[in-house]
């Protein structure tokens, strides 16, 4: 059986690569680290440059983006995704880069509930940072895209409902994730590693100890709640195994009549939006900013 990193090793590797991925941060107006955003949850608040409050009204003027980092529900943090969050602040968005609690120490539903609470908090508290709470979008990458879609669906029909979602190479259906693995009869190092990683992440996130998690629960597999999503921007790399997830979500949105944009960047791997040395990274970020400007 091929070896794959343990959770501790994954966390260590992600932390070691974070300085490289987050070097040369863009200029922003202000940065507030680890602001309390709920019970056990914090968010880095990144304020754009320029005037953030309408004179005489006290109402914030910056549109708001709540960003949920990736890392397979077991690693990553606001710090590991800081530069990507700064890119949106550079473009004029008040960004709440959320530190939700991680599995396996905090399995489902805790990460989902943390992200839901942080999004509601950001909507309420945006004005004190110069933001306009009702002009709110939610976004995330990989596991963070799963959480972003689940949060957006949960908030449908509420005052905090996001006006848009940015969903970067996400996992939207756990049954499809398992079905997309190499079959057991395929015995190669790559196949073994893929099966091992997926089972480790699924087991960590969905191990509640009660056996009560259903893979079809929309809070787990937000593809099942596609009709409740806001206008969405879906993007994935052409070399990313999760392209099957993006395609399935796009089909579900089309059936439900939910507006969406869908981009596949040829040859790009999973996580490429943080790899600005790759040619597709910055254009993809610019497309997302353009989508937000049209939508939020």
Annotated catalytic residues are 142, 240, 270
Complete edge-to-edge strand list for the sheet that includes strand 94-99 = 30-38, 41-47, 94-99, 62-68, 131-141, 164-168, 232-237, 260-265
Cis peptide bond N-terminal to 279, omega within 30: no
Integer Cα distance of 75 and 222 in angstroms: 21
28, 47 contact by CB (below 8 A): yes
Task: Measure CA of the first residue to CA of the last residue in the chain; give whole Å.
Answer: 48
- Separation in Å, CA 59 to CA 48, 56, 130, 160: 15, 8, 7, 16
Bridge pairing between strands 260-265 and 62-68? unpaired
- Separation in Å, CA 237 to CA 167, 176, 200: 12, 18, 23
31, 79 contact by CB (below 8 A): no
3-state secondary structure of 217: coil
DSSP 296: -
Could you write out the DSSP letters of every residue in 121-156? HHHHHGGGGTEEEEEEEEEEETHHHHHHHHHHHHTT
């Amino acid at each position: 059986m091929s070896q794959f990193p343990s959770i501790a090793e994954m966390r260590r590797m992600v932390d070691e690569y974070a300085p490289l991925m987050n070097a040369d941060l863009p200029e922003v107006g202000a940065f507030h680290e680890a602001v309390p955003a709920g019970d056990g949850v914090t968010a880095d608040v990144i304020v754009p440059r320029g005037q953030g409050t309408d004179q005489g009204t006290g109402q914030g003027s910056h549109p708001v983006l709540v960003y949920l980092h990736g890392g397979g529900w077991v690693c990553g943090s606001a710090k590991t995704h800081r530069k990507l969050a700064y890119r949106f602040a550079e473009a004029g968005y008040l960004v709440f880069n959320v530190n939700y609690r991680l599995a396996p120490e905090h399995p489902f539903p805790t990460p989902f509930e943390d992200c839901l609470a942080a999004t509601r908090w950001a909507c309420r508290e945006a004005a004190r940072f110069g933001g306009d709470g009702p002009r709110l979008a939610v976004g995330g990458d990989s596991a963070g895209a799963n959480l972003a879609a689940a949060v957006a669906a949960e908030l449908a029909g509420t005052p905090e409902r996001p006006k848009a979602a940015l969903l970067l190479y996400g996992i939207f259906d756990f049954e499809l994730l398992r079905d997309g693995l190499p079959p057991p009869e395929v015995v190669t190092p790559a196949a073994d590693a893929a099966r091992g990683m997926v089972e480790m992440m699924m087991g960590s996130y969905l191990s509640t100890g009660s056996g009560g998690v259903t893979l079809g629960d929309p809070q787990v597999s937000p593809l099942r709640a596609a009709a409740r999503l806001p206008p969405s921007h879906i993007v994935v790399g052409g070399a990313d195994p999760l392209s099957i997830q993006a395609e399935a979500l796009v089909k579900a949105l089309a059936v439900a009549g939910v507006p969406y944009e869908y981009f596949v960047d040829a040859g790009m791997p999973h996580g490429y939006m943080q790899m600005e040395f790759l040619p597709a990274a910055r254009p993809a970020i610019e497309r997302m900013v353009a989508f937000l400007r049209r939508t939020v």
